[in-house]
Structure 1
Amino acid sequence: MLSSSIIESALDQVKPNARLYIAYSGGVDSHVLLHLCASIAGLGDKMTAVYVHHGLQAEAGVWAEHCRKTAEALGIQFRALRVNAVAGPGESPEEAARNARYNALRALIGANDVLLVAQHREDQLETVLLQLFRGSGLRGLSGMPECMAFGRGVMLRPLLNVSRQAIRHYAESHALSWVEDPSNLHNDYDRNYLRNTVVPLIKQRWPACDKTVARSARHCAEAQAVLSVIADDLFHAVFNEADKTLSISRLKQLNKHRQQLVIRHWFQTLGLKMPAQGFVERILTQVVAASRESHPVLSGQGHNIRRYRDKLYCLKHAPKATLQDIDWPAGQVSLKLTDDQYLLCQPSSAGIARERWRRARVVVRFRLGGEKILLPGREGHHVLKNLFQEAGIPPWERQGMPLVYLDDQLAAVGDKWISAEFYSEETDACVRLYRKSQE
């Protein structure tokens, strides 16, 4: 029989010492979770029920009020979060709503906080089936974990091994009042189609399929845990922490299957979705296997996969630098180059003499080709193209490298080089340039 002990057992895993947040939609599953939590002595002051208002249903405002009254009646604090769940390019309505909901909840969870969500065994069955139909690997077929890092805290799914029938029985036996979302009946959504049409048919033949599929998911999760340890060792032998790149020569020493494992681990480390099998294969055949002289580009998830010399890069799509001159206003310590790139001027004991910087008209320009610079301690003027090659700066970074002119004379190349004609060493009397990305 379903009781609060299942919540207490889940909380014992993490021993929370901050706040407990319960994701509460007003539906039967989350209402049962809320009711179970409310029956645990000593948790009342620590708990907050959170309703995420997507604004996608006309009744959403009424549901939010219902949730508030229900939480207050149980002596639990309540909070509503309004989100924009409009689907973006290439995003399904289901995915947009889910992403908006989890992003809002993630921002709420602080250090040592716990988020409780009401997903149950049939939800796990649907998740595994969806992943299976999408051709997912072990990670996808592992389904949803009972406990995982979330925000700065932890997410728990204490009802994950509980059946929908047991939850419904609990709600009815305690005379709970919940809301029914009419969109759950729309079979346009993949999960709803599974829930309303496919799973009932499967259960006619295999009534215990939710239990057996959940068991298979746990087997996959255990295998994935072992594989992750192997992948981590392989990955760190290839990964360059400083610039988040992979060593192509070391990657090529691995067999095909291990290369694919490392690529997926790389995407995970970068916080990206797991790439499709075909995309992983294209990375290996079209980029990794390309000659050193070629510069292939693969695009996906708002990033470009590139290679330069012995490194494999995964880079965010960057806006092209303007070719127009940018005046640097006197007294201003930073200059915006693009939407996410800035050039900073900071005090230094070696660099451009501060007084010369203050008196000059400072202009930032971008490469047109053929620019030269005289470097301190080196003879003759050097073509920038040769300096970039010598320093191993990838070709795609060169065009956007800011060139800083003082009174129409090239004084600095980004934060890489300062012209000998402007270079000075004098304690606390110089300035130096630094490039910064706006995260």
Structure 2
Amino acid sequence: MTQSVDQALQAFAESHPALPLAVAYSGGADSSTLLHACAQRWPGQVHAIHVHHGLQAAADGFAAHCRSTCAALQVPLVVAQVDARPAAGDSPEEAARRHRYAALTQQALQGFERPMATVVLAQHADDQVETLLLALSRGAGLPGLAAMPRHLQRGGLDWCRPLLQVAGADVRSWLVERGLPWVEDPSNTDARYTRNRIRHQLLPVLEQVFPQFRDTFARSSQHAAQAQRLLVAQAQGDLQAVGVPPQIKAVQALAPERQAQLLRQWLLQSHGATPSAAQLRELLRQISHCSTRGHRIHIKVGYGFVVRQGSRLAWYNP
């Protein structure tokens, strides 16, 4: 069920998040709500990280707003500047996401006087629906349909999304009711981005036709996430059996479906790389034909390449 901001933060507090925590703070409405709400609930335990992507002329203004707001709240802030330009053939959105999470991880662990235990992200229920619809539009499998988890552990940190059951309009209303400022990212209205077209054109129609779509879509994502956890558990067992990095002959001995799941798990777990469906098909094809000592495997996966090194697979980022 969708919640108000206060209900969501109360539920988050009752889960006893590890402190201190850092808010991923862009200066926009969503992260502003999360920052103010967390600072009120855990005074002295809240920090903020602003990732300066350097991709927009307005980026310096965003950082200045974040510094001013955090100074007024007496919340320690670090501004992490990253070069988020995509490499050749890389998705701009994926490159920005990868650099953002790398910066958040580094700053949460090293950017303050003491390491953070938790990083909180401000995605809300509308973001979750958009993520699911984007996954459906791309023909995604279970990982995509599972959308965004409310909680995960990665890189020595807890990552939490306390507002994931709050409608986007309610997040902004919380700020308006309190007269709190935020900055608007000009790219949020750029119709060249599919996510923006979903937000501004499709969600209002869904609201009319299926008023409970946030709740029902979230349930579908939860079912997909549950099934994905079972597959991951099996893949981790297979990965232990074939070794890390994987022995090619041991991979070939598995059924094709288990090969695919194992390779996804290895690439994500060891290298943070996610193959497209076409890349995975080609990798499986090359592995199936690898029957001689001189057979070569070389295929782009994510932002790097899978290659053969002796009897094993390897991945490298050139």
Specify if TM > 0.5. yes
1:59 maps to which residue? 58
1:287 maps to which residue? 287
Aligned residue identity for 1:33: L
2:31 maps to which residue? 30
1:16-415 aligned at under 5 Å gives the runs 16-17=18-19, 19-40=20-41, 43-110=42-109, 113-239=117-243, 241=244, 244-248=245-249, 250-301=250-301, 302-306=304-308, 308=310, 311-316=311-316
CA contact (8 A) 1:4 1:39 kept: no
Q: How far did residue 118 of structure 1 move?
A: 0.7
CA distance in structure 2 between the aligned counterparts of 1:151 and 1:251, rounded to whole angstroms: 27
CA distance in structure 2 between the aligned counterparts of 1:51 and 1:181, rounded to whole angstroms: 14
Residue 164 of structure 2: SS of its match in structure 1?
coil
Question: Which of these two proteins has the greater Rg computed from alpha carbons?
Answer: 1
Q: 1:169 to 1:286 in 2, by over 3 A?
A: same
Residue 261 of structure 1: SS of its match in structure 2?
helix
1:367 maps to which residue? none
Q: How far did residue 271 of structure 1 move?
A: 1.7
CA distance in structure 2 between the aligned counterparts of 1:151 and 1:232, rounded to whole angstroms: 18
What is the percent sequence identity of the aligned residues? 35
Residue 132 of structure 2: SS of its match in structure 1?
helix
Q: 1:251 to 1:25 in 2, by over 3 A?
A: closer
Aligned residue identity for 2:288: V
Q: 1:169 to 1:315 in 2, by over 3 A?
A: closer
More helix by share: 2
Q: How far did residue 104 of structure 1 move?
A: 1.3
- Which residue, out of 4, 17, 20, partners 1:2? 4
1:190-247 deviation digits (Å, cap 9, x = unpaired) = 22222222333333322322221111111111111112122222222222x4xx2324
Residue 44 of structure 1: SS of its match in structure 2?
coil
CA distance in structure 2 between the aligned counterparts of 1:206 and 1:178, rounded to whole angstroms: 30
CA distance in structure 2 between the aligned counterparts of 1:251 and 1:97, rounded to whole angstroms: 33
Aligned residue identity for 1:55: G
CA distance in structure 1 between the aligned counterparts of 2:78 and 2:252, rounded to whole angstroms: 52
1:385-421 deviation digits (Å, cap 9, x = unpaired) = xxxxxxxxxxxxxxxxxxxxxxxxxxxxxxxxxxxxx
More strand by share: 1
CA distance in structure 1 between the aligned counterparts of 2:317 and 2:8, rounded to whole angstroms: 46
Q: Where does the alignment leave 5 or more consecutive residues of structure 1 unmatched? A: 319-439
Give the paired residue count: 309
Q: How far did residue 185 of structure 1 move?
A: 0.8
Q: 1:47 to 1:293 in 2, by over 3 A?
A: closer
Aligned residue identity for 1:73: A
CA distance in structure 2 between the aligned counterparts of 1:217 and 1:168, rounded to whole angstroms: 24
1:80-107 deviation digits (Å, cap 9, x = unpaired) = 2222222321233333332332221111
Q: 1:6 to 1:205 in 2, by over 3 A?
A: closer
1:228-273 deviation digits (Å, cap 9, x = unpaired) = 122222222222x4xx23241x333332222222222222232242
The normalised TM-score by structure 1 is 0.65
CA contact (8 A) 2:8 2:166 kept: no
Q: How far did residue 49 of structure 1 move?
A: 2.0
Higher relative contact order (CA 8 A, sep 6+): 2
Aligned residue identity for 2:40: S
Aligned residue identity for 2:74: G
CA distance in structure 1 between the aligned counterparts of 2:209 and 2:259, rounded to whole angstroms: 41
2:112 maps to which residue? none
CA contact (8 A) 1:51 1:80 kept: yes
Q: How far did residue 293 of structure 1 move?
A: 4.4
Q: 1:173 to 1:279 in 2, by over 3 A?
A: same
